[in-house]
């Protein structure tokens, strides 16, 4: 007989069947994925065309481009997860 790990006790006041708002997550991911993607491209182009000693610096603009790229990736992953969950739950 296989042994199973004991279930962890819930420490919060959330119900046992708590669910996230999939429609809201879907709407937010669908909205912010292209927004962050455009911001990534915009900051990358701005960093590439920025003068060497200008303000803001190239490294600052590149940092913003990387941060927006990470947010784009996060939004895409969340969108994929939400779509998969909506297919199985609804």
pLDDT higher than threshold 90 for residue 13: no
pLDDT of 89 reads: 77
Cis-peptide into 84, omega within 30 deg? no
pLDDT of 20 reads: 77
| 35-86 pLDDT tens trace | 999 999 999 999 999 988 888 999 999 999 999 999 999 999 999 999 999 8
pLDDT of 18 reads: 67
CA neighbor of 38 nearest in space, from 20, 64, 17, 10: 64
CA neighbor of 60 nearest in space, from 41, 71, 46, 79: 46
Q: What is the mean pLDDT of residues 2-15?
A: 62
Q: What is the mean pLDDT of residues 23-42?
A: 96
């Amino acid at each position: 007989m296989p042994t199973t790990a004991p279930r962890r006790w819930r420490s919060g006041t959330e119900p046992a069947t708590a669910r996230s708002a999939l429609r809201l997550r879907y709407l937010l991911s669908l909205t912010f994925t292209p927004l962050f993607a455009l911001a990534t491209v915009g900051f990358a182009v701005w960093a590439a065309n920025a003068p060497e000693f200008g303000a803001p610096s190239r490294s600052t603009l590149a940092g913003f481009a990387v941060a927006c790229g990470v947010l784009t990736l996060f939004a895409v992953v969340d969108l994929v997860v939400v779509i998969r969950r909506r297919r199985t739950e609804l």
